[in-house]
């Protein structure tokens, strides 16, 4: 049985499609919700893998959000212990920041569905080999990052060439939201903070257009997410256990 530690930053950005895959393997999940408990300092030595989810803050906002420094330290500890780490959106930026790479505003926002170009290294990666080249993926971000030193670039897009990377053999950063299903996308597009961000982003699309695109792409995206996340879970020992609630 493996224990998976999950860092969550806002209620609207949970594990999504990743959650039932972890449950099916019987692994234990411990959520640390930093929105509810910003002063939490989890003991990471108890866990076998780390997933860092998305959120509206930026990796260098340690003074405004002190928990970000706690998260970076935890990421560093997991990497030093050679335990699997996966960062999604903000999570990928935190990994890049922890590895000393710059995180900064991108040349433009990506909100909605964008083709994902898989590199030659990505096509041979344990996780991204399951991603069909140029299949659209859901994005919601205005920041990007430099590729960390000694990291392997796995995927890119026209606006953000650094969309996915692997560091060593156990750490991945995904700028995109492969974990989202139709319910979560619809939820984001009903929440005022997300609608405000969409309005000022300049991407030039409406919630209705994004929902129409979601109807076309979500089935393929969900099928791919299952394969990619299952490959990550293959790094963990087989198990039979329970899921621990957020507290």
Dump pLDDT digits (tens) for 57-96: 988 888 899 999 999 999 999 999 999 999 999 999 999 9
Give a yes or no: residue 125 inside a domain. Answer: yes
Q: What is the residue range of 199's domain? A: 3-233
Alpha-carbon 62 to chain mean position = 20
pLDDT tens, position by position, 88-135? 999 999 999 999 999 999 999 999 999 999 999 999 999 999 999 999
Q: What is the pLDDT of residue 245?
A: 42
| Percentage of the residues of the chain whose pLDDT score is greater than 90 | 88
Give the global pTM: 0.94
3-class DSSP string for the chain: CCEEEEEECCCCCCCCCHHHHHHHCCCEEEEEECCCCCCCCCCHHHCCEEEECCCCCCCCCCCCCCHHHHHHHHHHHHHHCCCCEEEECHHHHHHHHHCCCCEEEEEEEEEEEEECEECHHHHCCCCHHHCCCCCEEEEEEEEEECCCCCEEEEEECCCCCCCEEEECCCEEEECCCCCCCHHHHHHHCCCHHHHHHHHHHCCCCCHHHHHHHHHHHHHHHHHHHHHHHHHHHCCCCCCCCCCCCCC
Q: How far is residue 86's CA from residue 95's CA, in Å, rounded to a whole number?
A: 9
Residues 150-172 have a mean pLDDT of 97
| Confidence band, pLDDT 50/70/90 cuts, at residue 247 | very low
More confident site: 138 or 38: 138
Give a yes or no: residue 96 inside a domain. Answer: yes
Q: How far is residue 116's CA from residue 72's CA, in Å, rounded to a whole number?
A: 27
Q: What is the pLDDT of residue 240?
A: 45
Give a yes or no: residue 243 inside a domain. Answer: no
Q: Considering the chain, what is the average pLDDT of its residues? A: 94
Give a yes or no: residue 239 inside a domain. Answer: no
Of the candidate ranges 30-39, 80-89, 152-161, the one whose mean pLDDT is the lowest: 30-39
Give a yes or no: residue 216 inside a domain. Answer: yes
Residues 222-232 have a mean pLDDT of 98
Residues 193-207 have a mean pLDDT of 96
Residues 184-203 have a mean pLDDT of 97
In this structure, the number of other CB atoms found within 10 A of the CB of residue 72 comes to 18
Number of structural domains (the chain) is 1
Q: How far is residue 66's CA from residue 107's CA, in Å, rounded to a whole number?
A: 27
Q: Domain holding 120: CATH number?
A: 3.40.50.880
| Confidence band, pLDDT 50/70/90 cuts, at residue 242 | very low
187, pLDDT greater than 60: yes
Residues 230-243 have a mean pLDDT of 75
| Percentage of the residues of the chain whose pLDDT score is greater than 70 | 96
Give a yes or no: residue 202 inside a domain. Answer: yes
Q: What is the pLDDT of residue 38?
A: 85
Give a yes or no: residue 246 inside a domain. Answer: no
Give a yes or no: residue 245 inside a domain. Answer: no
Residues 52-56 have a mean pLDDT of 96
């Amino acid at each position: 049985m493996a224990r998976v530690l999950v860092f969550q930053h806002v209620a609207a950005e949970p594990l999504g499609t990743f959650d039932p895959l972890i449950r099916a393997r019987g692994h234990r999940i411990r959520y640390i919700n930093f929105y509810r408990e910003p002063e939490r300092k989890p003991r990471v030595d108890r866990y076998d893998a780390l997933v860092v989810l998305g959120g509206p803050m930026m990796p260098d906002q340690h003074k405004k959000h002190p928990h970000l420094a706690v998260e970076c330290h935890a990421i560093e500890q997991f990497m030093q212990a050679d335990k699997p780490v996966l960062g999604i959106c903000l999570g990928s930026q935190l990994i890049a920041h922890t590895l000393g790479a710059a995180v900064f505003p991108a040349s433009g926002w990506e909100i909605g569905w964008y083709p994902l170009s898989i590199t030659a290294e990505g096509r041979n990666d344990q996780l991204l080999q399951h991603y069909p080249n140029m299949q659209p993926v859901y994005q919601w971000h205005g920041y990007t990052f430099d590729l960390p030193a000694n990291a392997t670039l796995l995927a890119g897009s026209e606006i953000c060439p650094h969309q996915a990377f692997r560091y060593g053999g156990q750490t991945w950063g995904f700028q995109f939201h492969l974990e989202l299903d139709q319910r979560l996308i619809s939820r984001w597009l009903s929440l005022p903070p997300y609608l405000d961000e969409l309005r000022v982003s300049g991407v030039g699309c409406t919630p209705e257009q994004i929902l129409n695109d979601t109807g076309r792409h979500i089935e393929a995206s969900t099928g791919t997410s299952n394969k990619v996340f299952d490959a990550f879970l293959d790094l963990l020992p087989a198990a039979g256990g329970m899921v621990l609630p957020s507290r």
